[in-house]
């Protein structure tokens, strides 16, 4: 069982996936910083100096020691998350377009033997 696990864990796909997850986490931190520290202050400025992260619906009168409500629906943070998602999606879209532009589209793979056989059958039936 140890041998099978070793073969599984050291296959290229698992290592590639692990690298992708680590890079995605790092990119996520960079994008979060960009959204929270650069984009949202600009959006807040044009929205009348309001910070979306402070937007909430208070559910009760109880307050924490620091003056923040104990129970509140913080929909402003959710708005920030949506903006974050849109920016990440845009960046990934642009990266994909750049890859296609510089590397070209991936060529169509050769048909498998099953596909060739099915094509021959289709052509024979047409005749």
Average pLDDT over residues 88-102: 84
Average pLDDT over residues 65-75: 85
* CB 73 within 8 Å of CB 57: yes
Domain 2-126 class, CATH top level: mainly alpha
More confidently predicted of 23 and 32: 23
d(CA 97, CA 127): 43
Domain residue spans in the chain?
Answer: 2-126
d(CA 55, CA 77): 8
More confidently predicted of 43 and 106: 43
Average pLDDT over residues 71-90: 84
| Tokens 């559910």 found at | 59
Average pLDDT over residues 88-111: 82
110 Cβ neighbours under 8 A, 6+ residues apart:
none
Average pLDDT over residues 4-20: 79
Q: What is the pLDDT of residue 117?
A: 93
Residue 28 tokens read as 């996520």
Q: What is the pTM of this model?
A: 0.54
Q: What percent of the chain has pLDDT over 90?
A: 13
Q: What is the pLDDT of residue 107?
A: 77
Average pLDDT over residues 7-36: 82
- 26 membership: H or E segment, kind and range: helix 12-34
- Indicate whether 105 pLDDT > 80: no
48-53's contacts with Cβ under 8 Å and 24+ in sequence apart are 51/76, 52/76, 52/77, 52/79, 52/80, 53/77, 53/80
Q: How far is CA 81 from CA 5, 51, 64, 87, 93, in A?
A: 38, 13, 24, 10, 18
| Tokens 């296609």 found at | 100
């Amino acid at each position: 069982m140890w041998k099978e696990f070793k073969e599984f864990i050291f296959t290229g796909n698992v290592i590639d996936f692990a690298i992708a997850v680590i890079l995605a986490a790092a990119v996520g931190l960079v994008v979060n910083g960009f959204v929270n520290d650069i984009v949202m202050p600009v959006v807040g400025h044009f929205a009348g100096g309001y910070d979306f992260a402070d937007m909430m619906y208070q559910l009760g009168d109880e307050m924490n020691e620091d003056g923040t409500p104990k129970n509140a629906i913080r929909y402003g943070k959710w708005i920030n998350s949506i903006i974050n998602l849109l920016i990440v999606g845009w960046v990934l879209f642009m990266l994909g377009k750049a890859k296609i532009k510089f590397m070209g589209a991936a060529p169509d793979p050769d048909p498998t033997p099953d596909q060739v056989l099915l094509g021959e059958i289709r052509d024979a039936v047409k005749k």
